[in-house]
Structure 1
Amino acid sequence: MHLSLDGLTVAIDGATLVHSLSLDVPDGSVVGLVGPNGSGKSTALRCVYRALRPTGGTVRVGGDDLASLKPREGARRVAALTQESSSDLDFTVAEVVALGRVPHQRGNGPLTARERELCASAMESMDVAHLAHRGVLTLSGGERQRVLMARALVQEPRVLVLDEPTNHLDVRHQIHLLSLLREVGVTTLVVLHDLNLAAAACDRLGVLSGGRLVAAGPPADVLTPALVREAFGVEATVVPHPLTGAPQLLYRLTHQEGTP
Structure 2
Amino acid sequence: MDLEIVDLTVEVRGRALVDRLSLRAGAGQVVGLVGPNGSGKSTALRCVYRALKPTSGKALAGGADLTGLSIRESARTVAALTQDGTVDLDFTVEEVVALGRAPHQRGNQALSRREQDLVHEAMQRLDLLPLVDRGVLTLSGGERQRVLVARALVQEPEIIVLDEPTNHLDIRHQIELLSLLRGVAPTVLVVLHDLNLAAAACDRIGVLSGGTLVAAGTPLEVLTPELIADVFGVRARVVPHPETGGPQLLYTLDPAVPNRREPCE
TM range (shorter): over 0.9
Query: What count of residue pairs does the alignment treat as equivalent?
Result: 256
The aligned amino acid for 2:51 is: A
**2:18 aligns to what?**
18
Aligned match of 1:30: 30
Residue 173 (str. 1) matches residue 182 (str. 2): no
TM-score, normalised to structure 1, is 0.97
Please state how far the C-alpha of 1:27 moved relative to its aligned partner: 0.3
Matching of residues 61-140 of structure 1 within 5 Å? 61-140=61-140
Task: Compute the displacement of 1:13 (Å).
Answer: 2.7
Name the aligned partner's letter for residue 171 of structure 1: I
Distance 1:215 1:201 in 2: 18
Partner of 1:210: 210
SS of the counterpart of 1:107?
coil
Output the CA distance in 1 between the equivalents of 2:101 and 2:217.
34
Quote the sequence identity (%): 68
- 1:170 and 1:13 map into 2 onto residues whose CA distance is 39
Q: Specify every segment of 5 or more residues in structure 2 that has no aligned partner in the other structure, as ranges.
A: 257-265
CA distance in 2, matches of 1:65, 1:205: 23
Matching residue of 1:182: 182
Q: Quick one: distance in 1 between partners of 2:173 and 2:84?
A: 20
The reply on whether 1:141 has 2:141 as its aligned counterpart is yes
Deviations 1:209-251 (A, max 9, x none): 0000000000001000000000000000000101111100000
One-letter amino acid matched to 1:12: V
Task: Give the Cα–Cα distance (whole angstroms) in 2 for the partners of residues 205 and 150 of structure 1.
Answer: 24
- 2 CA distance for matches of 1:124 and 1:102? 20
Residue 240 of structure 1 aligns with an amino acid whose one-letter code is P
Deviation string 1:164-201 (CA, Å, 9 cap, x unpaired) is 00000000000000000111131000000000000000
One-letter amino acid of the structure 2 residue matched with residue 199 of structure 1 = A
Secondary structure of the 2:44 match is: helix
Secondary structure of the structure 2 residue equivalent to 1:52: coil
Structure 2: distance between partners of 1:20 and 1:85? 27
- The SS at the match of 1:151 is helix
Q: Please state how far the C-alpha of 1:12 moved relative to its aligned partner.
A: 1.8
Matches within 5 A, 1:193-232: 193-232=193-232
Q: Which amino acid aligns with 1:89?
A: L
1:114 is paired with a residue whose SS is helix
1:15 CA displacement? 2.0
Amino acid paired to 2:26: P
Q: Secondary structure at the match of 1:76?
A: helix
> Structure 2: how far apart are the matches of 1:242 and 1:84?
35
* Matched position secondary structure for 1:226: helix
In structure 2, the residue corresponding to 1:5 is in which secondary structure?
Answer: strand
Q: Determine the C-alpha separation between the residues in 1 that align with 2:30 and 2:155.
A: 18
- AA aligned to 1:211 is G
Mapped to 2, the partners of 1:255 and 1:160 lie a distance apart of: 38
Instruction: Describe the superposition over 1:117-167 as per-residue Cα deviations: whole angstroms up to 9, x where unpaired.
Output: 100100010001111111000000000000000000000000000000000
1:254 is displaced (CA, Å) by 2.0
Off by >2 Å, runs of 4+ in structure 1: none
Work out the CA distance in 1 between the residues paired with 2:185 and 2:73: 20
> Structure 1: 5+ residue runs without aligned partners?
none
For each residue in 1:74-102, what CA deviation from the matched residue of structure 2 results, as whole angstroms up to 9, or x when unmatched? 00000011001101111111111011000
TM-superposed deviation, 1:255: 4.2
- Tell me the amino acid that sits aligned with residue 75 of structure 1: A
3-state DSSP class of the match of 2:127? coil
